[in-house]
Amino acid sequence: MYSNSSQFDGNAAFSGGGFMPSQTTQSADPSFFPSKNRDAQALLPLTVKQIHDAFQSSDDKTNLIVDGVDVNNVFQVTLVGKVCNKVGRITDVTFVLDDGTGRIECNKWLQEAADTNVAEGILDGMYARLHGHLKGFQGKRTLNVFSFRPVTDFNEIANHFIECIYVHLYNTKIRVSVPNQQNVMNSTPITPTKGYQTQAVPPSNQFSGQQINGQKSVEDMVLDVLHFPANRARIEGVPRDLIAQNLGISLDKLMVAIKSLIEEGVIYEAIADHYKSTING
Amino acid sequence: MDTSNPAVFVNGELIPNFIGKKVRAVVQVNRCDGGAATAKSTDDCQLTIKGLPQVPLMNYIEVIGIAESSNSIGAEVWTDFGNTFDTDSYNQLCQLANGEFKSLFL
């Protein structure tokens, strides 16, 4: 599931399972029910600092809430960090994970032979990716580890923290900005939302837009130009000089937006320097 | 759970803000002279890393230690990140982790 490719396609990585369980149909559905996602397993990438802060700020210590998401109902969290203080026993192995923002105790139960092999592969000082469930016992938070994997491509470390930032932004800003669909977000914090919820906004505003507050980004404007009926009719696509002229922006700025749209698969280059949208009118 | 000893993501530009504190940086070692190595940070600043043993040159090394001055780190722990590492992403992460999203890290 996790691929360390250098091209990180945010749209593909975050849709269809993984961090944010989104429905594969892209149609805008204003009648959104949060209960649809009750069975969807959400996975939150977190830093130890985020867990610590959530723990400090929640009044009810048994219900941990991170960015408005009830972590106890979110079945899994994922962390990347350095393993320290490993203690191996017959039935389980415990260690401390230090991700640079803090340290958290982790516990992995050994139930099968494969688990024991994994446990032997856990060495102090190595970087690892963990998936697990946060558990609290007598006021102490530990991570019950389901999956442990050593990090081999160290870009995964930067990637994980960038994902933590993205997901934090998603939960705090993008979800708040659509209050009609999020019927819980603006109400009392006692009923937090359960995991990620699909956005009713079309993907072009969500992923290719660089601004979250609803203003049109360069990419949205490029798409608008390509969607003009007269431009859609062009078989060879719209020349980039024309797009730049229409929008009144520099070619450099335009190429940055075009490159990002191509990477997301929203537009393509039909003939040299001519672009067409892949979105049907 | 203990957040009392965090290591801040830094590049060359950010080190001066954390002198005397524990930092982490990914650098590319150019030269190793005995106890001090000359390295390039992810934003192309020259840094001196003290306490590094012989490391593979031109590989990316993550160094965790105390920032001793605006361009040197006293290494406590180091990890070899190989030679395929995206410095751009890491550099931007340093800027985000110390800017708008500081609360997630420190």
Domains of chain A: 44-175 (2.40.50.140), 218-277 (1.10.10.10)
The residue of A55, A66, A161 whose CB has the most chain B CBs within 10 angstroms, and thus the best one to mutate to test that interface, is A161
The chain B residue lying nearest A96, using CA atoms, is B1
Tell me how long chain B is. Answer: 106
The chain B residue lying nearest A126, using CA atoms, is B79
pTM score, whole prediction: 0.63
The pLDDT value given to residue B49: 92
Q: Which residues of A190-212 are buried (b: 16+ CB within 10 A; e: fewer)?
A: eebbbbbbbbbeebbbbbbbeeb
Taking CB atoms and an 8 Å limit, are A168 and B104 in contact across chains?
Answer: yes
pLDDT at A194 > cutoff 60: no
Minimal Cβ distance to B7: which of A100, A158, A168: A100
CATH number of this structure's domain B8-94: 2.40.50.140
The pLDDT value given to residue A62: 59
A208-233: pLDDT as tens digits: 444 444 556 888 888 888 888 888 88
Chain B residues touching chain A at CB-CB below 8 Å: 1-9, 24, 60, 62, 64, 77, 79, 81-82, 84-86, 89-90, 92-93, 96-97, 101, 103-106
Arithmetic mean of pLDDT over chain A = 74
pLDDT at A109 > cutoff 80: yes
Q: How far is B35 from chain A (nearest CA, A)?
A: 22
Contact A192, A70 (CB under 8 A): yes
- Domain range annotation of chain B: 8-94
pLDDT confidence of A60, banded at 50, 70, 90? Answer: low
The pLDDT value given to residue A225: 86
Residue partners of B56: CB distance under 8 A and separation at least 6: B29, B80
